[in-house]
Amino acid sequence: MTTAEIAGSKFLTRLASSEAGQDGEPTEEVLAKSTFFDFKEVLDRVLGLMLLLPALPLVGLLIVVVRMNSRGPGVFRQVRVGKSGRAFTMFKLRSMRIDAESTTGPAWSPTGADPRVTKLGYWLRRLHLDELPQLINVVRGEMSLVGPRPERPEFVEVLAEQIPGYLNRLMVQPGITGLAQINLPPDTDVDSVRRKLKLDCDYVRTASFWLDIRILLCTTLRMLWIKGPVVTRMLGLERLVYLPASAAPQNTGLGTEVPVSLSSLTDSNDGTAVRHDIASASSVAKVERPSSRSPASAAMRGVVSPESIG
């Protein structure tokens, strides 16, 4: 999907002109977001500017190093979907080859080592330094420091058709980090998106200044390689997502060690989204704050990988 196609997308136009959270399907109640968001956007821009100014020399240096390390620009620009479905250009330090999607088209990263990532890009991702230019998006009012991660328009249109209530996450500005990112690994299939959606919605309902501070602190600790569930548990951020196995759609070909392309999420016959029947009450995932006595299996607990914040 080109920039021109995105700008003229009927889906995004309809979404941006309607109330966020309405996906046209009577399957889930529209969220009532926290009152914290009434002033959060102004606070984010102020804090974003305070963080961007001292980070500029480091960003400039990394841009030069990226350009010297591999062919292509130092800053990678990609269209993402923000609040109320409005498209914006998100900035990142380039960590992949410039022809990374020339053969696959839009694709998620694989679960294993990604052959498209450069050697330098691997470390930029491990240290989450590739996200630093997104402070510019925060200052411009397009993103927040904390919130649901922004997805690409190509995937949003497909996922909105497959997952009831998916567009509820667009009620607020997307973030550099979030409650879902510190609890769960990167998206690899529709089930992983469903789990993150539950945490995104939990954040939208319960957001507060203290919650944002704890999420930012947890993110900072991970940048310093202090990782693991002990950190989220210590800060009271650990969440268990219960996703009934009987309700989970079968995603053939996903979760593999190759990039997950957009075509993997659509019907190969006509290219349209295949809707999974997961709207019944018995299929609704639950989010719980674990107590010290509550056992949790690996399937229910968010397993955090080094690339979780991305």
Higher pLDDT, 15 or 82: 82
pLDDT, averaged across the chain: 76
Residue 305 maps to a domain: no
167-177 residue pLDDT tens: 999 999 999 99
50-87 residue pLDDT tens: 999 999 999 999 999 999 998 889 999 999 999 999 99
Residue 297 maps to a domain: no
User: How far is Cα 272 from Cα 93, in angstroms, rounded to an integer?
Assistant: 33
Give residue 98's pLDDT band: very low, low, confident or very high (50, 70, 90): confident
Per the structure, how many domains does the chain have?
Answer: 1
Of the chain, the end-to-end C-alpha distance in Å amounts to: 22
Say what the pLDDT of residue 100 is: 60
263-284 residue pLDDT tens: 555 543 343 333 333 233 223 4
Residue 306 maps to a domain: no
Say what the pLDDT of residue 47 is: 96
Give me the helices (H) in 22-93, please. 37-69
CA angle 270, 271, 274 (to 5 degrees): 95
- Spatial neighbors of 130 by CB under 8 A, at least 6 apart, are 92, 93, 94, 95, 121, 124, 310
Say what the pLDDT of residue 270 is: 41
Residue 208 maps to a domain: yes
Give residue 103's pLDDT band: very low, low, confident or very high (50, 70, 90): low
Give residue 101's pLDDT band: very low, low, confident or very high (50, 70, 90): low
User: How far is Cα 169 from Cα 154, in angstroms, rounded to an integer?
Assistant: 16
Domain that holds residue 72: 3-20+30-96+110-288
Residue 307 maps to a domain: no
Residue 308 maps to a domain: no
